[in-house]
A and B are shown apart, each in its own frame.
Chain A
């Protein structure tokens, strides 16, 4: 089973952190639904080519955050409650990215309507333009 994300060991972000964020992202997007088993530490370590203890650290942090739960002898599963957590995390991520874009636009001297227009244009380039719901 493929985990659906990659890690870059050369990156300055520690591998366990990349795994932690990768799983959170998959949960937030719904690609990993509540109750679904995540790969075993051994399988994921071999798939990513990393130390199993690194995967264990990521899973431990995900368990502490309530994103996954470990059932003794059965494995690790996406927690039932984590869909809600995933959504709040997603909202926070989205807000952060929006802040970043807004400040970049302001730095470039771009006014709000033009900046928002660019976001709409970006969505239509993705082929899924929204009606601009506020």
Chain B
């Protein structure tokens, strides 16, 4: 196979989900390349959970197709799940079983299962394999769920808000394991998270869902390169000609005007500067979290 060949592990094509008359997901498309880390972002209640259920073949889309490894995830769910590891938003292991028992239970379900590796991961996380799952802390549960999800050496790892409610130490430990797996096996990852700091460290590509629809879907590096905040002060600030900039948002303050530019580049800035020579301009670069908040609002971002 040529190195230029595109090898998508997951393809979502024009997927819509409706519950009765309620539209939850509208015409969402995305493609996750083998070996990449794809981050799916959005505020709660934008249809992400329904989309993930469709991806995992647990729910049939009202319209559109989802393909895992080239085959419909709905029609060939069993075959696909043998190649996918999932860390769900809510740890759902039976609370009375300990890690050793869970490893044995799942070992019976998978043809390819490395129980020793799972137990080694659990031990590395400092979790006793003899304590019932229900008695573990949130961080310990997360570590066990991740270890179990990696036990059959999946090609695709789906992480649904794995760090929700974890403290900094537990979060770091979880990312450490994921990074190790990326390095050792080149696992493909679909990461749905509110932890924008973690996404900024790991993601190759970022998609943002807003109000049921895909707002953007592009490489993280390009996203961060094209968004800037521009602060214009001085007389004439309010009447500035923003050409050739595409303005995503604009606020008038006591001191001048602050805008969010969606197509920043040095060349465009020079063109703008030549036209708007009379005002003072400050260019501020933005973190992923700042871009996200600017595009979808502040509510429910921190968690």
Interface residues of A (CB under 8 A from B): 9-12, 14-15, 41-42, 45-46, 48-53
Contacts and interface: CB of A to CB of B under 8 A. Distances in A.
A51 B180 contact: no
Contacts of B37: 51
Contacts of B285: 11-12
Contacts of A41: 183
B138 interface: no
A54 to B, nearest CB: 8
Interface in B175-221: 175-176, 179-180, 182-184, 197, 200-204, 221
B288 interface: yes
B153 to A, nearest CB: 17
| B interface, over-half SS | helix
14 contacts: A9-B200, A10-B287, A12-B224, A15-B201, A42-B179, A42-B183, A46-B180, A46-B183, A50-B179, A50-B202, A51-B37, A51-B203, A52-B179, A53-B182
Interface in B145-174: 172
A49 B225 contact: no
Contacts of A15: 201
A66 B108 CA distance: 51
A49 B200 contact: no
Q: Which of A11, A41, A49 has the most CB of B within 10 A?
A: A49
Interface of B: 35, 37, 172, 175-176, 179-180, 182-184, 197, 200-204, 221, 224-225, 285-289
A50 B175 CA distance: 9
Nearest to A12: B285
A46 B176 contact: yes
A48 B184 CA distance: 17
Contacts of A50: 179, 201-202
A9 B201 contact: yes
Contacts of B286: 12
Contact of A51 (B172, B202, B288): B202
Given A9-B200, A12-B285, A51 B221 contact: no
Given A49-B172, A51-B203, 9 more contacts: A10-B289, A42-B180, A42-B184, A46-B176, A46-B180, A48-B201, A49-B179, A50-B179, A51-B204
A2 to B, nearest CB: 16
Contacts of A12: 224-225, 285-286
Contact of A49 (B184, B201, B221, B287): B201
B179 A45 contact: yes
A49 B182 CA distance: 12
A97 to B, nearest CB: 20
B177 to A, nearest CB: 9
Nearest to A51: B202
Contacts of A9: 197, 200-201, 287
Q: Which of A9, A41, A50 has the most CB of B within 10 A?
A: A9
Contact of A53 (B35, B176, B184, B221): B35
Contacts of A42: 179-180, 183-184
